[in-house]
Amino acid sequence: MLEAAATLYTPAMLDIRAIRQQFPILSREVNGQPLVYLDSAASSQKPLAVIEGQREYLAHHHANIHRSAHHLAARATRDFEGAREKIGLHLGAAHSKEIIFTSGTTDAINLVAQTWGRVNLDAGDVVLVPRDAHHAALVPWQMIAENCDAIVEPIEIELQGERAGQIDRAAFTRQLQDLKPKLVVLGHVSNALGTIHPVEELCLEARNAGATTLVDGAQALPHLPIDVQKIGCDFYAVSAHKAYGPTGIGALYGRADVLDAMPPWRGGGEMIKSVSFEGTTFGELPFKFEAGTPHISGAIGFGLALDWLNKIGLQNAQTHEEALTSRATKQLLQIDGLRILGPATGTQKASVISFVIQPENAPAIHPADLATLLDNQGIAARTGHHCTEPLMAALGLAETGGTIRISFAVYNSFEEVDRAIEALKRAVNMLL
Ligand code: PMP
């Protein structure tokens, strides 16, 4: 099996063995078995370029940024601002001042809710959020809506058929016309089902209906080219750790005119122009949204992760991940009673496979039981509601433990797919 799989490194593309060697964690064992890490949608592993780059900064170049004239401060500032430039370029922003460092996607969306939301939402205003949204894209709006009596409504997702996992477009169009939402929140890629949503079309439709738009790009960053100007969104949120970078750092893209019109959120050093007890004035973009000492090494690591990803090539990574997903899908569908949720395969899907197993004449297998048996064999898979409880409820899975989710990154191999499927079959047999 392993030999056969090795011949499948097709597209004139990537040397997966060489890529894997750049990820020290991938050569460790778990429970006495070589690790097969299939949980990259939760957090990707980190290449040496990021690990060593952060270490280099911390060991030799650290100082606080923006404040002092000394050598180290100047260098740290240059590296930190250099990372902002890289992120801006990667996301297609018009200017790096449109990139606000945050601790991640969750923090970025909370920033928008607490600043834009606080001044723009009034009683009765509608915020549309997709039913498959990650809780990070929903709960901040519920919290702010409670303060101002705004209304948060779901954008419905098709649950069955060819368009399973996709937005119900007719219903979306009707909602835009009938509810005239102030804000439309969209997810670029669903972490629960892997659906790639057509955010460019959806944003255009939302904008034409007069809405401000925010796209949760957490799952898109490691897989898709992103061009915020082409997408036409007002806000786009990402986390570095989903895309080979460090945890605790992410970014909010906001169009400059929209960010300029927003009040700051957190107050403190770095974000001010001048302070007195009579009154304080705030700094320019992007600093007015970055109070306090930021995660400097994290930002630098974020930039290095994007460098690394761009060196691999997003297109190459995507081709490989699609091949992994399609190989896994074919084998999974041969397992008795296994049902994949959302788009089965094809272009509208990122490398995420969510499934449940209910063999004929047997009760459904609890995802958590399967995950434990997989873990015993060194396979890291995710189970549960994947922070998308409203979606799981609509799918009728809220009470049955959600789904099992496997997700691939560019460092996964065909051998790992085969090992995981064999391990899954063994686990299912043990539970029957
Ligand atoms: N949105 C999506 C689609 C996600 O997958 C995640 C992470 N699971 C988040 C938002 C939140 O990201 P973070 O925890 O890095 O803030």
CB atoms within 10 A of CB 360: 6
Please say if the pLDDT value at position 297 is more than 70: yes
Please say if the pLDDT value at position 5 is more than 60: no
Residue nearest to atom 5 of ligand 1 (CA): 191
Which atom of ligand 1 is found nearest the CA of 104? Answer: 16
Ordered by start, the domain boundaries in the chain are 16-43+313-431, 52-310
Residue nearest to atom 7 of ligand 1 (CA): 42
Please say if the pLDDT value at position 237 is more than 90: yes
State whether the beta carbon of 240 lies less than 6 angstroms from ligand 1.
no
> Ligand 1 test: best mutation among 102, 106, 197, most atoms within 8 Å of CB?
106
Helix axis angle for 199-208 and 169-179, nearest 10°, is: 20
pLDDT tens digits, 171-206: 999 999 999 999 999 999 999 999 999 999 999 999
Which atom of ligand 1 is found nearest the CA of 247? Answer: 15
Centroid of ligand 1 to alpha carbon of 343 (angstroms): 20
pLDDT category, 345, cuts 50, 70, 90? Answer: low
Average pLDDT of the chain, as a whole number? 95
Q: Would you say the pTM of this structure is higher than 0.85?
A: yes
Q: Are 158 and 168 in contact (CB under 8 A)?
A: yes
Centroid of ligand 1 to alpha carbon of 75 (angstroms): 31
Tell which wins on pLDDT, 403 or 8. Answer: 403
Residue 387: active-site member: yes
State whether the beta carbon of 286 lies less than 6 angstroms from ligand 1.
no
State whether the beta carbon of 102 lies less than 6 angstroms from ligand 1.
no
Helix axis angle for 296-312 and 314-332, nearest 10°, is: 80
Q: Which pLDDT does position 361 carry in this prediction?
A: 85
Cis before 286 (ω within 30): yes
pLDDT tens digits, 394-430: 999 999 999 999 999 999 999 999 999 999 999 999 9
State whether the beta carbon of 150 lies less than 6 angstroms from ligand 1.
no
Pairwise CA distance, residues 289 & 15, whole Å: 41
pLDDT tens digits, 73-89: 999 999 999 999 999 99
> Ligand 1 test: best mutation among 105, 112, 385, most atoms within 8 Å of CB?
105
State whether the beta carbon of 248 lies less than 6 angstroms from ligand 1.
no
**Architecture of the domain spanning 16-43+313-431:** Alpha-Beta Complex (3.90)
Task: Residue count of the chain, please give it.
Answer: 432
Burial 191-217 (b: 16+ CB within 10 A, else e): bbbbbbbbbeebbebbbebebbbbbbb
Which atom of ligand 1 is found nearest the CA of 216? Answer: 1
Tell me what the mean pLDDT of segment 260-285 comes to: 94
State whether the beta carbon of 216 lies less than 6 angstroms from ligand 1.
yes
Please say if the pLDDT value at position 12 is more than 60: no
Residue nearest to atom 6 of ligand 1 (CA): 218
Residue nearest to atom 8 of ligand 1 (CA): 42
Q: 86: part of which helix (H) or strand (E)?
A: helix 71-91
pLDDT tens digits, 107-166: 999 999 999 999 999 999 999 999 999 999 999 999 999 999 999 999 999 999 989 999
pLDDT category, 346, cuts 50, 70, 90? Answer: low
Q: Are 79 and 300 in contact (CB under 8 A)?
A: yes
pLDDT category, 9, cuts 50, 70, 90? Answer: very low
Q: Identify residue 242 by its one-letter amino acid code.
A: K
Please say if the pLDDT value at position 2 is more than 60: no
* From the candidate CATH numbers 3.40.640.10, 3.40.30.10, 3.40.50.300, 3.40.630.30, the one assigned to the domain spanning 52-310: 3.40.640.10
Which atom of ligand 1 is found nearest the CA of 387? Answer: 8
Which atom of ligand 1 is found nearest the CA of 108? Answer: 16
Find the catalytic residue in 148, 203, 233, 387.
387
> Ligand 1 test: best mutation among 141, 191, 199, most atoms within 8 Å of CB?
191
Helix axis angle for 105-112 and 135-148, nearest 10°, is: 20
State whether the beta carbon of 191 lies less than 6 angstroms from ligand 1.
yes
Which atom of ligand 1 is found nearest the CA of 107? Answer: 16
